[in-house]
Amino acid sequence: MGLTVSEETLLMPACRVSFNSRRARRGRRPARIDNAVSEIFLDLRPTLLGLPSASTTSDDCREVWARLVSHRLAVVASGVAEERAHLVLRENTEALPRRRDLQGRNLAILERHLLGAERKVLSMELGISQATIAQALKRELGEMGITCAPALVPAVLVMLLHAARSGSAAELLGMAQFEHRGLRHVALSTDVESRVWRSLSPAQQAVLRHRAHGGTHADIAAERRTSHRTIANQLAAASHRLGISGRLDLLQLMAAPVVGG
């Protein structure tokens, strides 16, 4: 029997309006998902499942990324449906001009972080505090319509950036365009399964799958009906086997080029 990812659990960190991970850790409860945001994805779900998703090219991804960072597109929802992770962007009717202070440094910080650079490294290289790095990431993601913590950005967003910059993940993404309530949308999706964890145990595969697509330790523990400590131990063992140290490392591995087919 195949392992599945709960759709309800993964209605999305990208658009959680009030994500309180500290409270979730203390109370061992899943982080709360904003009801209005959940409704957006649920409203779009039938449309997403009916779309003929075409394969993407690196040029497609560069165009979408450019439209996103120039505010011509904004993230409105993301989630998991029918074993695919989705990221939905809506066309802005009026593109807002970027402020000069954000146009260069903050976007560069965000891109480097999503491509794998740690905050500590960025802080040392740029000569600014890690708190300033965190503020830049939060502000830039907010301009895109993403309100979660930077560590919980949608996997599809990271793959989009990889595809836009190096083309390495373009073959993993599907893309479709559609109209919804009179507004144009772009939907990107990828399979929730990954070649990355095929060699791991079923339990390790399950927790990594949830983690990759936005689940916190508390979310995963609640979904799998086990303890927070068990999830932490399973994630630690899986991460050790893969040679990674966190979720962003996992996403870099998932977006890496396939070697040998």
Tens digit of each residue's pLDDT (9 = 90 or more) over 153-180: 999 999 999 999 998 889 999 999 999 9
From residue 60, alpha-carbon distances to 16, 42, 63, 67, 190 in Å are 27, 26, 5, 11, 15
- The whole-number average pLDDT for the span 145-152 is 88
Q: Are strands 73-81 and 174-180 parallel, antiparallel or unpaired?
A: unpaired
From residue 124, alpha-carbon distances to 73, 138, 187 in Å are 32, 19, 37
CA dihedral of residues 199, 191, 218, 19 (deg, nearest 10): 150
Q: Which of 159, 148, 123 shows the shortest CA–CA distance to 214? A: 148
Tens digit of each residue's pLDDT (9 = 90 or more) over 195-237: 899 889 999 999 999 999 988 899 999 999 999 999 999 999 9
At residue 241, the pLDDT reads 94
- The whole-number average pLDDT for the span 141-158 is 91
